[in-house]
Amino acid sequence: NFTTTSFSVIDGYVRNAKIYIDTNGNGIAEDSEFTGVVTDENGSFFLPTNRPAGAIIATGGVNIDTGVANTIEFKAPTESTVLTPLTTLIQAYIAANKVDAANAENAIKAALGIPDNIDLLNYDPLAEAPGNADALAVQKIAASIATIITLAAGSNNVLENTVISNLVTAIKDANNSTTTID
């Protein structure tokens, strides 16, 4: 039996992004880890359910909302079905703090003021009904994170990783002091 799972790359949907599985756990999309899969015109893609273990990484592509080339390297834990700026933070939090996806997700939600009922590993705020307050709040936060990364790093992956690392540190500090990041 060959079964697949559907995924989406979302910052606005991203078409033509290359999909990698980080099988060696170093956080880098390497040629040997390219799945041969590219997102479709709606930012969707499929991977086999019996794929190798590792975080999912999406690189390149074009944001279909703006027509602008995507310069962010989106990442998500293996159990995620979406790759967003927020799952990228979750994956970075996992790597930096050696915690599981649930603990990383809870830390991100607490620090950014995202409601507990939102499952960031599987949540597509763009697919929600117009006017959905939670979806609007989540997308606004995700867009802010993407803007910070893009403005600070451009297409420089080293700078991108530094910006994300600094965001993860701020999130951890916010959780330790029980404050929310604005």
Q: What is the pTM of this model?
A: 0.90
pLDDT reading at 1 higher than 60:
no
Mean per-residue pLDDT of the chain? 91
- The mean per-residue pLDDT over the stretch 73-89 comes to 96
Residue 178: pLDDT band (50, 70, 90) is confident
Secondary structure of the chain as H, E, C letters: CCCEEEEEEECCEEECCEEEEECCCCCCCCHHHEEEEECCCCCEEEEECCCCCCEEEEECCEECCCCCECCCCEEECCCCCEECHHHHHHHHHHHHHCCCHHHHHHHHHHHHCCCCCCCCCCCCHHHCCCCCHHHHHHHHHHHHHHHHHHHHHCCCHHHHHHHHHHHHHHHHHHHHCCCCCC
pLDDT reading at 169 higher than 90:
no
pLDDT reading at 163 higher than 90:
no
